[in-house]
Structure 1
Amino acid sequence: MHTLHTAPLLRRTVDDGGPLPGWAVLVDGDRIEALGPVEELTQAYPMVRVRRWPGTLGPALVHDGPLPPAPSPRERVHALLRVGVGAVLAAHLTDPAVRAAVTRNDVAVLDVARPPVLAAGDRADLAVFADDGRCLATIVAGRLVHRRA
């Protein structure tokens, strides 16, 4: 099923020159199918489910460090999802229970850090941030895994 994620502003990378107003990300399953102006994508996919987010939509973050402390592996992973993380480095997953929690939540495991980017064909790892930097939503592999109440 296609889902169109839209927000007032869209960033294709974490620190691209400036966000694009009126753009959206079309997701099919766990992949980004297209990026473009909202009007063009809704015309091309008239029956698409639309998720409208406040703030700025962009790529989920890559966490380059140990996972935050928490009482359980699941809570350690959820602490990352709450701040917009969609990928972690394998070097920081030495505990098998934490690695299993990462896998269960579809968080990407990378061998080396790379700048997050939104591009057609890539995994649909998205995050929405408020003007004050708070994460409002995290989408990992096309699935909504965190939404701020």
Structure 2
Amino acid sequence: MLTIHADSRGRALAVEGAWIAGAGQLTDLVAAHPRARVRQWPGILTPGLINLHGNELLEEAYHPDPRESDELGTEPLMGDALATLAMDDTRWGASARRGLQRMLAHGTVRVACEELRNRAVRDAVHRSGLAVVGRLGRPGGTPALDPYAAGLPVEFAAPRERNSAARFAVFDVPDETELAERGAGTCVATVVAGRLVYRRR
């Protein structure tokens, strides 16, 4: 079924399966696809973000289970804090799945990594549907689920157009300037491979 996703400015993408069937103004896409389901979101529709710290956030960090929050908190554990935990493949896989879900909740549609050496993490990334882009060396900055908090220039995925992969995000802000000021925690929806993989409650 074809779905049209539209933002507060009337910008819209028509999605069929894993692909963009059309891009433009909501009124034009509704006229072209009168039987499509329409999802209207508050804020701005963007191509989605690239998180440059894939290895650091997935293979060098532990994302606590909510049931562990009293003991471990809610933020990713790295460095010495990670070294105190007994990690096995099961725990690495569960941590990576939670980390990926938290990336999606920040509008991430691509993650930059060197080769992922941990098989459990690699499998979790593959199953998530997030696109992986290669990188050489460490990007610097501070690894953060919100790319705006990393201290590096924020990178967006390529603009979405007809016949491109349906990967994008919507942020509940009026424009890109406020997005930069408030950060990616304003994400209300993330679509990957045509699927709505995150929706703010």
TM-score normalised per structure 1: 0.84
| 1:62 partnered with 2:114 | no
CA distance in 2, matches of 1:2, 1:77: 26
Q: What residue is the counterpart of 2:199 in the other structure?
A: 147
The 8 Å contact of residues 129 and 193 in structure 2, kept in 1 or not, is answered as: yes
Q: Which moved more, 1:36-45 or 1:91-100?
A: 91-100
| 1:27 partnered with 2:5 | no
Counterparts of residues 104-115 of structure 1 (less than 5 Å): 104-112=127-135, 115=156
CA distance in 2, matches of 1:148, 1:92: 31
CA shift, 1:111, in A, is 2.3
Q: What residue is the counterpart of 1:12 in the other structure?
A: none
Any runs of at least 4 consecutive aligned residues in structure 1 with deviations exceeding 3 A, and if so which? 112-115
Q: What residue is the counterpart of 1:138 in the other structure?
A: 190
CA distance in 1, matches of 2:14, 2:135: 27
CA distance in 1, matches of 2:198, 2:29: 25
5+ residue gaps in structure 1?
10-21
CA shift, 1:127, in A, is 0.5
In the comparison of the two structures, how many residue pairs are matched?
137
CA shift, 1:60, in A, is 1.5
CA distance in 2, matches of 1:92, 1:49: 39
CA distance in 1, matches of 2:115, 2:57: 7
| 1:123 partnered with 2:165 | yes
* RMSD between aligned residues: 1.9
TM-score normalised per structure 2: 0.63
Q: What residue is the counterpart of 1:4 in the other structure?
A: 4
CA shift, 1:90, in A, is 3.4
Structure 1 residues 56 and 76 mapped into 2: Cα distance closer, same or farther (>3 Å)?
same
CA shift, 1:58, in A, is 1.0
CA distance in 1, matches of 2:52, 2:119: 18
Structure 1 residues 115 and 60 mapped into 2: Cα distance closer, same or farther (>3 Å)?
closer
Q: What residue is the counterpart of 1:13 in the other structure?
A: none
Structure 1 residues 80 and 47 mapped into 2: Cα distance closer, same or farther (>3 Å)?
same
Structure 1 residues 7 and 115 mapped into 2: Cα distance closer, same or farther (>3 Å)?
closer
**More helix by proportion, 1 or 2?**
2
The 8 Å contact of residues 3 and 14 in structure 2, kept in 1 or not, is answered as: yes
CA distance in 1, matches of 2:111, 2:16: 23
CA shift, 1:89, in A, is 1.8
